[in-house]
């Protein structure tokens, strides 16, 4: 017996999307690879060497400012901003070489003007390297 001339198999009514997905994923991969190359200018630049400072290894002086206006240099509590210069000059002289990192630990509630005034007094007291302590994301109060 001969097979019928008409195809009796069911007709395919859906579109095969597998090749379309494959092409789309390849295009996404190409985009992810080429996008960073397009964003950098093609200029010759000599970047400076990174110099990180490990505060635990080097001596540092801490100026702590509370919300109530109290000021402390390391463990010495001061009476006011005007005492920072003399107390800090004394403390810097005790450090090796007189080049100590001075870290200002100010409460987040304090005004920027007050912190700036304290940093100016610290600079007049002999601080050549000033830093501001910040909290890492997810960290608590220190």
| Distant-in-sequence contacts of 109-115, Cβ < 8 A, 24+ apart | 109/67, 110/65, 110/67, 114/65, 114/69, 115/65
pLDDT digit string, tens, across residues 68-87: 888 888 888 888 888 888 88
What domains, with CATH codes, occur in the chain? 60-132 (3.30.420.270)
Count of C-beta atoms within a 10 Å radius of residue 7:
8
Asked whether residue 26 carries a pLDDT value surpassing 90, the answer given is: yes
Asked whether residue 25 carries a pLDDT value surpassing 90, the answer given is: yes
Higher pLDDT, 8 or 141: 8
- Please give the full DSSP string across 86-103, using - where no structure is assigned: HHHHHHHHHSGGG--EEE
Which of 131, 123, 78 is closest to 101 using CA atoms? 131
Which of 35, 40, 125, 37 is closest to 78 using CA atoms? 125
Mean pLDDT in the chain? 78
């Amino acid at each position: 017996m001969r097979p019928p001339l008409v195809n009796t198999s069911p007709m395919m009514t859906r579109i095969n999307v597998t090749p379309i997905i494959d092409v789309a994923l390849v295009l996404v991969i190409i985009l992810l690879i080429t996008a960073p190359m397009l964003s950098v200018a093609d200029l010759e630049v000599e970047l400076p060497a990174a110099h990180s400072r490990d505060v635990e290894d080097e001596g540092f002086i801490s100026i702590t400012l509370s919300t109530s206006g109290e000021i402390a240099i390391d463990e010495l509590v001061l009476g006011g901003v005007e005492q920072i210069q003399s107390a800090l000059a004394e403390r810097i002289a005790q450090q090796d070489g007189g080049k100590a990192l001075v870290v200002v630990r100010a409460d987040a509630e304090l005004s920027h003007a007050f912190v700036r005034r304290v940093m100016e007094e610290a600079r007049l007291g002999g601080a050549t390297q000033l830093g501001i302590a910040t909290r890492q994301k997810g960290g608590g109060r220190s």
